[in-house]
């Protein structure tokens, strides 16, 4: 059976989310991140610790880039920064504008951006989700899932998200915090590593030996400093060998 046949919808979604986070990511880096994410979800126990191959991930990334670039102007416009005059997609209901503008201000203050797609989902959900943090998390989750369905050419079915929204409203917050946690660990790892391979190794340490979800950024940074110091000592010893 061809290796591509083993790429389940969940594995494809993980690769797609990695691509979305960094559209220029190299296959080797994406492959290592994918294996870490699969390990975090226990998928490596099903498919093996080295599946899928780098070549399979590379082909998937190439396909994602091609489909991303081939999207319609309307679809691409949904992922551009939102403004009051945005013409892409459905208009925001007038009574939803105050809450959309409040999130717009928050993203600007954090040096981020609110996309047209995210603004539209805020406008769709604000009457059924009162809590601001929950509203933002769910708007982000629905927007991301919609984007994934477009880029993978799959029918956008919100059934699972709808059930989570009703049964477990905290799901979206947990999902968003997990993504932010990955980003924080990655930034700290890169800061104290010579290359991305070592940064990925640091993330792998947290997934295999430590409960990295409960560590603070300061604790992770101390571990990164220690690893860097150990690496420098080893390098110095090798350099002084006769």
Domain that holds residue 29: 3-69
Four-residue CA torsion sign, 151, 173, 135, 186: negative
Per residue of the chain (242 residues), what is the pLDDT tens digit?
344 446 888 888 889 888 887 888 889 888 888 887 787 778 877 887 778 889 999 999 999 999 988 888 888 889 899 988 877 667 888 899 999 999 999 888 877 889 999 999 999 999 999 999 999 999 999 998 898 888 888 888 999 999 999 999 988 888 777 766 666 666 666 666 645 555 555 555 554 444 545 556 666 667 666 666 655 545 555 555 55
Residue 192 per-residue DSSP state: T
Does 174 reside within a domain?
A: no
Using the 3D structure, point to which of 26, 51, 69 is the last residue of a domain.
Answer: 69
Question: Is there a single domain that holds both residue 84 and residue 152?
Answer: yes
Q: 157 with 189, same domain?
A: no
Q: Bridge partners of 115?
A: 81
Domain count along the chain? 3
Q: What is the pTM of this model?
A: 0.70
Task: Evaluate whether 118 touches 92 at the Cβ level (below 8 Å).
Answer: no
Q: What pLDDT is attached to residue 194?
A: 46
- At residue 115, the 3 state secondary structure works out as strand
The two tokens of residue 16 are: 């797609």
> Per the structure block, which two tokens stand in for 5?
């046949």
Residue 141 included in any domain: yes
162 and 196 housed in the same domain: no
Asked if residues 131 and 173 have their Cβ atoms less than 8 Å apart, the reply is no
DSSP one-letter string for 2-64 = -GGGG--HHHHHHHHHHHHH-TT--HHHHHHHHHHHHHHTTTHHHH-TTPSPHHHHHHHHHHH
How far is residue 68's CA from residue 49's CA, in Å, rounded to a whole number?
Answer: 29
Burial of 130 (0-12, 13-18, 19+ CB in 10 A): exposed
Q: How far apart are CA 96 and CA 129, in angstroms?
A: 12
How far apart, in whole angstroms, are the C-alpha atoms of residue 145 and residue 63?
A: 18
214 by DSSP, 3-state: which? coil
Q: Residue 33 corresponds to which tokens in the numbers above?
A: 């991140």
**Residue 224 pLDDT:** 65
Q: Which of 97, 150, 146 is nearest to 126 (CA)?
A: 97
Report how far residue 166's alpha carbon sits from residue 63's, in angstroms, rounded to the nearest whole number: 35
Residues 107 and 151 in one domain: yes
* 30 and 112 belong to one structural domain: no
Domain-ending residue, one of 69, 96, 125:
69
For residues 53 and 101, membership in a common domain is answered with: no
Q: Does residue 100 sit in the same domain as residue 163? A: yes
Q: Residue 210: inside a domain, yes or no? A: yes
């Amino acid at each position: 059976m061809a290796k591509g046949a083993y790429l389940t919808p969940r594995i494809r979604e993980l690769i797609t989310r990695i691509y979305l986070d960094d559209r220029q990511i190299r296959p080797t880096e994406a492959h290592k991140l994918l294996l870490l994410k699969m390990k975090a979800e226990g998928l490596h126990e099903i498919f093996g610790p080295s599946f899928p191959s780098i070549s399979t991930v590379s082909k998937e990334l190439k396909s994602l880039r091609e489909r991303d670039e081939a999207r319609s102007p309307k679809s691409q416009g949904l992922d551009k920064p939102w403004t009051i005059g945005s013409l892409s997609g459905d208009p925001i209901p007038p009574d939803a504008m105050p809450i959309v503008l409040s999130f717009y201000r928050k993203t600007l203050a954090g040096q981020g951006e609110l996309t047209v797609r995210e603004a539209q989902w805020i406008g769709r959900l604000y009457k059924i989700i009162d809590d601001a943090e929950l509203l933002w998390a769910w708007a982000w989750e629905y927007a991301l899932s919609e984007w994934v369905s477009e880029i993978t050419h799959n029918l956008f079915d919100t059934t699972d998200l709808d059930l989570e929204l009703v049964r477990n409203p905290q799901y979206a917050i947990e999902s968003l915090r997990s993504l932010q946690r990955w980003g924080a660990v990655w930034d700290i790892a890169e800061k104290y590593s010579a290359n991305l391979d070592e940064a990925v190794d640091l993330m792998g340490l947290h997934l295999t030996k430590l409960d990295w979800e409960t560590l603070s950024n300061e604790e992770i940074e101390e571990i990164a400093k220690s690893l860097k110091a150990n690496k420098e000592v080893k390098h110095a010893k090798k350099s002084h060998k006769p």
